[in-house]
Chains A and B, each alone.
Chain A
């Protein structure tokens, strides 16, 4: 697993996660996202386009992150779901629970 954080013009923070988020790597992913929540101003976008695998441990990190952002009244957006990752998010009901966009660019347009 590899995580890259980029602050975009306008203030949105984009976290791109690559590789696998499984039971072994999910705690580290959680640490990254906890830090990202602290640094989030208006919006946090998680770009999943290079994520190859996610298990429920990773979904719990995503849900926990969304709960924290809701308390902060910041926006939480997911972008770039595809393949196996999209299938798992759909089964878990996450595609209706969260704001989901095909690409990072379309998510960024949403937050201005």
Chain B
């Protein structure tokens, strides 16, 4: 992958805006339509917020977001050094539940999986790496 941008900051909500700005700036230069840019922002937010909330059991360490190009495709890689977590392992919410039964959680990853068709997770030397091809 030819790297276009990278940002590494503590995995905290206060850094969400900086992470997202980095991705939006980079994706914006690729000429994506506004709709696609919004989807990229949403997907990155959902994955990062999961990391902020669940990746680290003690003090939060880092998250790293890298944007790049590979064979003409725009790639976003989101990495953390937390506990192993494969976002594909989560059950999908039951969309047939009524309002009373419907669970509050689990929606973020489900939406990302639906918006971004080409997504891969790998565990590599104590790191979670999620690779999204746009």
Contacts and interface: CB of A to CB of B under 8 A. Distances in A.
Contacts of A83: 35
Range class of the B interface residue count: 20 to 34
A24 to B, nearest CB: 6
Range class of the A interface residue count: 20 to 34
A64 interface: yes
A23 interface: yes
A64 B35 CA distance: 27
A106 interface: no
Interface in B45-95: 45-46, 49, 93, 95
A61 B39 CA distance: 20
Contact of A84 (B39, B99, B100, B102): B39
The DSSP consensus for interface residues of chain B is helix
B46 A55 contact: yes
B98 interface: yes
B7 interface: no
Interface string B84-117: 0000000001011011101011011011001100
A57 B17 CA distance: 15
Interface of B: 13, 16-17, 35, 38-39, 41-42, 45-46, 49, 93, 95-96, 98-100, 102, 104-105, 107-108, 110-111, 114-115
Given A55-B108, A56-B46, A57-B49, 17 more contacts: A23-B13, A24-B13, A24-B17, A52-B38, A53-B42, A55-B49, A66-B99, A67-B100, A70-B100, A83-B35, A84-B38, A88-B111, A91-B115, A93-B93, A93-B95, A97-B98, A97-B102
